[in-house]
A and B are shown apart, each in its own frame.
Chain A
Amino acid sequence: DTAVSQTPKYLVTQMGNDKSIKCEQNLGHDTMYWYKQDSKKFLKIMFSYNNKELIINETVPNRFSPKSPDKAHLNLHINSLELGDSAVYFCASSTTRGGRETQYFGPGTRLLVL
């Protein structure tokens, strides 16, 4: 009955590879997000989607491409991985129904680029 789930939990890959991280929420929310947590634990938003439409796109390299096939899923594809992409990536979801609501986070995907 996990609310926000991410796969994989850990990802170790070589520089230059392309990888994807998947996120699913079963909360019935209409907005989903990707956040990046760096090695110093600093958290910063990357993207948000509302009803499959891109709402927020922070200054993220275009090697990162989010895709939302439906309201319950938001995947993150990363091309040509670089060492600096090593981080923990968190997916989150919320609903805009009834006003500003809380964002609920997934367990994170720990990406290590070698």
Chain B
Amino acid sequence: AQSVAQPEDQVNVAEGNPLTVKCTYSVSGNPYLFWYVQYPNRGLQFLLKYITGDNLVKGSYGFEAEFNKSQTSFHLKKPSALVSDSALYFCAVRPFNTDKLIFGTGTRLQVFP
């Protein structure tokens, strides 16, 4: 079955420290991978995507993610966290033969001042 796992319900980090939000996936074929962020009572905002090419992709607000095919992972990272980064983060995969996004269960990022 095709799936996405976000093993951490919540990640806590101090402002200024680096952050990582983990994501692993299980799909057949070459996947397209995405990260979205959801602020309270808001819609999902696109952060970044991996389609092909360089394994390190850069996105909005200083976020980046590294695609690791052997570990089937697509972890989200940021070198220096901001309090305003506090939100719910979703990893999603789009199997090559469909348009639908399969989402992980989300990880709540809490950045403390």
Contact = CB atoms under 8 A, between A and B. Distances in A.
Interface of A: 4, 31, 33, 35, 40-45, 48, 50, 55-56, 58, 90, 92, 94, 96, 99-100, 102-108
Nearest to B101: A103
Interface of B: 32, 34, 36, 38, 42-46, 49, 51, 88, 90, 94, 98-103, 105-106
B86 to A, nearest CB: 15
B105 A41 contact: yes
Contacts of B36: 105
B32 A100 contact: yes
Contacts of A108: 42-43
Given A102-B49, A105-B36, A45 B101 contact: yes
Given A100-B32, A100-B51, A106 B103 contact: no
The main secondary structure of chain A at its interface with chain B is strand
A44 B88 CA distance: 16
By CB atoms of chain A within 10 A, which of B34, B42, B43, B98 has the most?
Answer: B43
A42 B94 contact: no
B95 to A, nearest CB: 10
B34 to A, nearest CB: 7
A60 to B, nearest CB: 13
